[in-house]
Amino acid sequence: MVKRSMPVCFTKEQHKMIEELAKRKGMLNTSQALEKILTE
């Protein structure tokens, strides 16, 4: 996994979408979902 250090800002709606994606994919937190999105 690549170590990332740049902060990322999202609106409440965007964060909610990322949380839902993480839940659907069985991930523990939104950070895992973000890593998955960034690698695709």
Q: What is the pLDDT of residues 1-40, one digit of tens each?
A: 577 777 778 899 999 999 999 999 999 988 888 888 888 8
User: How far, in Å, CA of 36 to CA of 40, rounded?
Assistant: 6
The per-residue pLDDT for 1 is: 59
User: Contact at 8 Å (CB) between 18 and 8?
Assistant: no
In a domain? residue 24: yes
Residue 3 lies in a domain: no
Place of tokens 């659907």: 24
Of 21, 37, 3, 14, nearest to 29 (Cα)? 21
**Does residue 5 lie in a domain region?**
no
Tell me the Cα Rg of the chain. Answer: 10
**Tally of structural domains, the chain:** 1
Q: For residue 29, what are the domain limits?
A: 10-40
Tokens representing residue 21 in the block: 């994606």
pLDDT of residue 14: 93
